[in-house]
Amino acid sequence: MAREREECIMNSRWSLKGKTALVTGGSRGIGAAIVEELAGFGATVHTCAIDEAELYEKLEDFKAKGFKVTGTVCDLASIKQRVELFETVSSHFNGKLDILVNCAAITKMRKANEYDHDEFSQIMQTNFESPYHLTQLCYPILKASGNNASIVFISSLAGTTALPALSIYGSSKAAINQLTKNMACEWAKDGIRVNSVSPWAVRTKAMKLEDIDP
């Protein structure tokens, strides 16, 4: 894999050398894998996570692999911390951002009639309102990067398929899918591509397959 990466970096079609990226939720799971791939193809990456110890441990891991990755402790449910994250990224990358990957998300597995208001609000705030607001904040620096910026929302098959105990999580991802379509239409003229990716369940710390009752 490392050799294939090096060959791709040498090929200008696939190389991300000189590109800048922000990946949310990059200390573990899918987010960490995305950070590693982007950095492995030559991008300079900034990431964020809510768990300080976990984040800095992962940053050391990235550093040991020779990747250009920095990070910020951030609770994306906080508007103030989102703004601070944006300001950090804008300053770090001199007012230009090539790639934004909205990966951070949470879920609580409940039957639809069992969620309380706080749980509903927390899931929707983290999974929908937060990536929308952060993307909105980053719009000027994505536009400033030139005619080839890219936004990727990490959605889920739960956003298109009814799954047990995931009604609110699935609803938040369905909202992301629609937001992606609208932003893609609105921002194409600014040279910004907007896409979403919908993985199935991945065995990470946040999602253990054995916890899902088929």
Q: Which of 115, 132, 139, 169 is an active site residue?
A: 169
Are 93 and 20 in contact by the 8 Å Cβ rule? The answer is yes
DSSP state string for 159-210: GTS--TTBHHHHHHHHHHHHHHHHHHHHHGGGTEEEEEE------SSS--GG
Residue 169 designated active-site? yes
Q: Rounded to an integer, what distance in angstroms lies between the CA atom of residue 23 and that of residue 59?
A: 13
Cα–Cα distance, 103 to 114 (Å, whole number): 26
- What residue ranges in 6-51 does DSSP mark as E strands? 20-24, 44-49
Angle of the 167-187 helix axis to the 130-143 helix axis, nearest 10: 20
The C-alpha atoms of residue 43 and residue 107 are separated, in whole angstroms, by 30
Q: Looking at the annotation, which residues are catalytic?
A: 169
